[in-house]
């Protein structure tokens, strides 16, 4: 009982305290920029001083970017902070280590390895990868990986997301349903003109479900284990201008291995548009859809839509705050997220508040033969809320709080269960 209480409390405190610790470790290094420099009449010395200042600022910018991505330099290698301290609702607190080779070792390739252990499930996660950089800007690369880990059930991914400093990364803290997976594969990624990026890949997976999925009714045992080949092609059109339309698409073909006779095709699309309503007020719209056809396992269904937590969760922009993790599943779905940002005219050293009003909707269904076994959301799922962002800031970290309410066909009779309150954490470089 004491161990369970310690793991739960420690895990929830870590996801709140870790960003503060990162900020504190980085705040002192900027002091050098505020110190007066020797001003000489010699042009040569002025140029040298200016060069040193420029190098210091460039180094600080790079260091902060690496911190936002979850890495901190340690000599010739970088430490992966996500592997040193990690947490989700199934595994609890996961101490470990992650090491990535730096440019000092080689600029032609990057190697990385990790290990962590779940204190709640007593499971060891480990793996390694090698990335070969095929261009000087590192936009063209070949990645080869192998790992044995607990993977989230029913998720989808979009190329280039989440961004290194986006709060979408906090979705992983809500993970509650996982599959024990041994995976190996390779991928080739290309970028063109700073806008178009695509990725092709192959993976082989040995998947063992270890929990009964929440969206399955009348089933008391986990799904049987299976082997899976999977090939994927991903595209992303991402103009640098914020007000330009952004597009994503995924095409995934999977097939059973050995005695597992199944094959399926997944097609996934997403679009995002930012609209300026006035000089200060903007609205962001993201639409996502997915469809799986053919024969497949229940594990392949889409189900990772919700990030609700019984206690204080972490706010994420493009998930359903009031939906329980893996509460529903679908073989075809459509999601719509609408956010309107209203900055307040308050700008101080510690506060720069922004009100974000949001409405999210989803619809999903399953094949007729599975309707009686699977909880889906064919009648439509709806929630709205407000996120009070940037109520407090420290260095490059901003904190806020969000409130969301669930309504429509799938709301609860107990109104208190329809509410979700979350802490907001944002990184601003």
At 158-167, the pLDDT tens digits run: 999 988 778 9
Give yes or no: residues 145 and 43 share one domain. no
User: Using 50, 70 and 90 to split pLDDT, how confident is the model at 188?
Assistant: very high
The larger pLDDT score, comparing residue 71 to residue 325, is at: 325
Rounded distance between C-alpha atoms, residue 372 and residue 367, angstroms: 10
The whole-number pLDDT of residue 274 equals 96
Q: What rounded mean pLDDT belongs to the chain? A: 87
Give yes or no: residues 60 and 175 share one domain. no
Q: What does the angle CA 201 – CA 202 – CA 203 come to, to the nearest 5 degrees?
A: 130
The whole-number pLDDT of residue 9 equals 38
Rounded distance between C-alpha atoms, residue 188 and residue 234, angstroms: 10
The whole-number pLDDT of residue 347 equals 72
Closest CA relative to residue 114, chosen from 149, 90, 152, 73: 149
* pLDDT(202) > 80: yes
Q: Angle at which helices 2-27 and 43-69 pack, to 10 degrees?
A: 160
In a domain? residue 107: no
- The structure's pTM equals 0.85
Residue range 160-177: average pLDDT? 89
User: Using 50, 70 and 90 to split pLDDT, how confident is the model at 206?
Assistant: very high
Give yes or no: residues 213 and 354 share one domain. yes
Please state the domain count of the chain.
Answer: 2
Give yes or no: residues 301 and 172 share one domain. yes
In a domain? residue 244: yes
| Bridging pattern class, strands 92-101 and 246-256 | unpaired
In a domain? residue 370: yes
* pLDDT(6) > 50: no
For the chain, report the end-to-end CA distance as a whole number of angstroms.
Answer: 42
Give yes or no: residues 317 and 256 share one domain. yes
Give yes or no: residues 207 and 60 share one domain. no
DSSP characters over 287-333 = EEEEEEEEE--GGGSB---B---SS-EE--TTSBTTSPTTS--BSEE
* In contact, 90 and 174? CB cutoff 8 Å: no
At 37-47, the pLDDT tens digits run: 444 445 567 77
Give yes or no: residues 300 and 407 share one domain. yes
Q: What does the angle CA 206 – CA 209 – CA 210 come to, to the nearest 5 degrees?
A: 125
The whole-number pLDDT of residue 113 equals 97
142 three-class SS: strand
* pLDDT(2) > 90: no
At 221-234, the pLDDT tens digits run: 999 999 999 999 99
* pLDDT(25) > 90: no
User: Using 50, 70 and 90 to split pLDDT, how confident is the model at 389?
Assistant: very high
* pLDDT(20) > 60: no
403 CB neighbour count, 10 Å cutoff: 15
Closest CA relative to residue 262, chosen from 223, 224, 226: 226
64 CB neighbour count, 10 Å cutoff: 20
User: Using 50, 70 and 90 to split pLDDT, how confident is the model at 21?
Assistant: very low
User: Using 50, 70 and 90 to split pLDDT, how confident is the model at 408?
Assistant: very high
At 240-288, the pLDDT tens digits run: 888 899 999 999 999 998 888 899 999 999 999 999 999 999 999 999 9
Given its phi and psi angles, is residue 57 left (phi above 0), alpha (psi -120 to 50 degrees) or beta? alpha
Name the maximum alpha-carbon separation found in the chain: 84
The whole-number pLDDT of residue 29 equals 38
DSSP characters over 405-427 = EEESTT--SSGGGGEEEEEEEEE
95 three-class SS: strand
The larger pLDDT score, comparing residue 241 to residue 6, is at: 241
The whole-number pLDDT of residue 26 equals 39
The whole-number pLDDT of residue 283 equals 97
User: Using 50, 70 and 90 to split pLDDT, how confident is the model at 429?
Assistant: low
Last residue of a domain, one of 100, 122, 153: 100
The whole-number pLDDT of residue 43 equals 54
Give yes or no: residues 87 and 149 share one domain. no
In a domain? residue 159: yes
Give yes or no: residues 153 and 92 share one domain. no
Percent of the chain with pLDDT over 70: 87
Last residue of a domain, one of 43, 74, 100: 100
Residue range 397-407: average pLDDT? 95
Question: Residue 414's domain is classified under what CATH number?
Answer: 2.40.160
How far apart, in Å, are the Cα atoms of 55 and each of 12, 28, 43, 50, 58? 38, 17, 18, 9, 5
Closest CA relative to residue 209, chosen from 144, 300, 118: 300
Give yes or no: residues 177 and 52 share one domain. no
In a domain? residue 222: yes
Residue range 18-47: average pLDDT? 46
At 315-360, the pLDDT tens digits run: 999 999 999 999 999 999 999 999 999 999 887 777 889 999 999 9
Q: Which residue range forms the structural domain that includes residue 91?
A: 1-100
Q: Identify the weakest region by mean pLDDT among 133-142, 297-306, 364-373.
A: 364-373
The larger pLDDT score, comparing residue 216 to residue 348, is at: 216
* pLDDT(130) > 80: yes
Give yes or no: residues 42 and 149 share one domain. no
In a domain? residue 307: yes
Closest CA relative to residue 172, chosen from 263, 54, 281, 89: 89
At 80-91, the pLDDT tens digits run: 988 888 999 999
* pLDDT(1) > 80: no
In a domain? residue 121: no
How far apart, in Å, are the Cα atoms of 339 and each of 51, 285, 360, 391? 43, 7, 9, 18
The whole-number pLDDT of residue 68 equals 65
Give yes or no: residues 206 and 138 share one domain. yes
In a domain? residue 115: no
Residue range 373-396: average pLDDT? 93
Rounded distance between C-alpha atoms, residue 362 and residue 360, angstroms: 7
Q: For the chain, give the number of residues.
A: 429
């Amino acid at each position: 009982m004491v161990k369970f209480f310690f793991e739960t409390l420690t895990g929830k405190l870590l996801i709140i305290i870790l960003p503060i610790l990162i900020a504190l470790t980085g705040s002192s290094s900027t002091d050098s920029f505020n110190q007066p420099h020797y001003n000489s009449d010699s042009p040569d010395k002025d140029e040298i001083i200016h060069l040193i200042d420029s190098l210091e600022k460039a180094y600080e910018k790079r260091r902060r970017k690496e911190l936002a991505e979850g890495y901190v330099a340690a000599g010739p290698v970088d430490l992966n902070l996500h592997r040193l301290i990690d947490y989700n609702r199934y595994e609890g607190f996961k101490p470990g280590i992650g090491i990535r080779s730096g440019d000092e070792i080689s600029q032609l390739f990057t190697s990385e390895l990790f290990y962590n252990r779940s204190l709640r499930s007593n499971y060891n996660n480990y793996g390694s990868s090698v990335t070969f950089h095929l261009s000087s800007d590192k936009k063209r690369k070949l990645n080869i990986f192998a790992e044995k880990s607990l993977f989230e059930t029913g998720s989808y991914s979009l190329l280039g997301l989440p961004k290194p400093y986006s709060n979408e990364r906090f979705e992983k803290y809500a993970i509650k349903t996982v599959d024990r997976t041994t995976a190996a594969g390779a991928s080739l990624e290309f970028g063109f003109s700073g806008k178009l990026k695509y990725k092709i890949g192959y993976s082989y997976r040995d998947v063992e479900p270890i929990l009964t999925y929440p969206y399955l009714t009348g089933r008391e045992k986990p799904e049987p284990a299976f082997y899976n080949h999977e090939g994927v092609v991903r595209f992303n059109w991402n103009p640098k201008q914020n007000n330009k339309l952004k597009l994503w698409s995924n095409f995934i073909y999977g097939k059973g291995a050995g005695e597992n006779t199944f094959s399926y095709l997944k097609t996934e699309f997403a679009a995002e548009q930012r609209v300026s309503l006035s000089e200060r007020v903007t609205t962001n719209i993201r639409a996502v859809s997915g469809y799986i056809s053919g024969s497949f396992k229940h594990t392949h269904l889409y189900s990772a839509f919700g990030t609700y937590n019984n206690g204080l969760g972490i706010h994420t922009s493009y998930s359903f705050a009031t939906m329980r993790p893996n509460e529903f599943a679908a073989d075809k779905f459509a999601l719509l997220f609408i956010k309107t940002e209203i900055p307040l005219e308050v700008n101080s050293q510690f506060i720069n508040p922004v009100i974000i009003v949001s409405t999210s909707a989803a619809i999903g269904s399953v094949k007729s033969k599975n309707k009686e076994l699977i909880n889906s959301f064919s009648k439509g799922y709806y929630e709205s809320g407000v996120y009070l962002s940037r109520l407090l800031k420290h260095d490059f970290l901003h904190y806020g709080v969000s409130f969301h309410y669930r309504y429509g066909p799938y709301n609860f009779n107990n109104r208190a269960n329809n509410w979700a309150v979350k802490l907001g954490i944002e990184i601003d470089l």
